[in-house]
């Protein structure tokens, strides 16, 4: 478990199934998650059963973001882990709008970046952000991620192509 001041990052548990089911099937976040079809509880149970697998094997690490009352409020991922080039992508979602803009996302990102830099030996972490997602853009800028480029017409969502911004944070 990675402990912060206001949140903790922990491994996924079987009891997280209902949260995961609601989040993965929330069509409002499908644009950022790349989801194109609903997930069944059975598929998500299998995912949870295998969530313990090593990041060096599966190239991904998903952790639950929990508040100090152990309430699950979101998920944070390292994905496309590339140990040869010492980089990984980062994705985060805070499920409930009432839990956003309270510093939980900032703390979770800093905890995971610290873990990736110090424990996994990552040299850089990147984040892909839709160009209209102003809250995420400001969040990553505030956390010393730098705009590295614009991927034109990168995401096709509901018949419309959208640009995606690439942010990087390189280990200092």
| pLDDT tens digits along 136-171 | 999 999 999 999 999 999 988 888 999 999 999 999
Tell me the pTM.
Answer: 0.91
Q: Which fold has domain 2-122?
A: Aminopeptidase (3.40.630)
> What is the pLDDT, as a whole number, of residue 31?
67
CA–CA dist 158, 32 (Å, integer): 12
Q: Show Cβ contacts of residue 40 under 8 Å, excluding neighbours closer than 6 positions.
A: none
Residue entry with tokens 């090593």:
54
pLDDT digits (tens, 9 = 90+) for 27-51: 777 667 777 778 888 888 888 888 8
Is residue 31 within 8 Å of residue 130, measured between CB atoms? yes
What is the C-alpha separation between 147 and 127, in angstroms, rounded? 10
CB atoms within 10 A of CB 85: 9
At 136, which helix (H) or strand (E)?
helix 134-142
């Amino acid at each position: 478990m990675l402990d912060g001041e206001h949140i903790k990052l922990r491994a996924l548990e079987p009891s997280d199934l209902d949260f995961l089911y609601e989040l993965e099937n929330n069509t409002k976040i499908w644009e950022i998650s790349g989801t194109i079809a609903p997930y069944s509880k059975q598929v998500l149970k299998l995912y949870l059963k295998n969530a313990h697998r090593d990041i060096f094997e599966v190239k991904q690490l998903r952790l639950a973001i929990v508040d100090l009352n152990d309430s699950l409020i979101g998920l944070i991922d390292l994905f496309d882990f590339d140990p040869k080039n010492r980089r990984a992508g980062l994705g985060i979602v805070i499920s409930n709008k009432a839990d956003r803009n309270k510093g939980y996302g900032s703390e979770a990102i800093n905890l995971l970046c610290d873990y990736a830099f110090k424990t996994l030996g990552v040299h850089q972490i990147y984040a892909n952000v839709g160009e209209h997602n102003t809250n995420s853009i400001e969040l990553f800028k505030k956390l010393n991620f730098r705009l590295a480029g614009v991927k034109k017409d990168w995401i096709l969502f509901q018949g419309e192509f959208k640009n995606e911004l690439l942010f990087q944070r390189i280990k200092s």
